[in-house]
Amino acid sequence: MKLSRPVSWFLLAFGVWSWIIWITFVKNLIKDSSGLAFEDGDPTAYLWVHLLLAVVSFVLGTVVGGIGLRSVRVLRRSS
């Protein structure tokens, strides 16, 4: 299957965007001082659920970005 150039770049940009957003989120989650992520120094369920969401988003962002990158490379070779 061959993807169009705009779709390929969108997928690549989505993968990069996903990593930027979720890395920032995880940094802020670890530094949380409101008591949601840590209670008396111990991680809470809130922290674990949001870390799981972040990991899944990293994986999906990597896969989607990888598809976009491969497609961009194929399009560059063929043009």
Q: Report whether 57 contacts 26 (CB < 8 A).
A: no
Side chain identity, residue 4: S
Report pTM: 0.84
Q: What is the pLDDT of residue 79?
A: 76
Q: What is the pLDDT of residue 1?
A: 75
User: Using one digit for the tens of pLDDT, what is the confidence trace for 2-18?
Assistant: 899 999 999 999 999 99
Q: What is the mean pLDDT of residues 55-69?
A: 97
CA dist., res. 30 & res. 22, Å (int): 12
pLDDT class of 76 with cuts at 50, 70, 90: very high
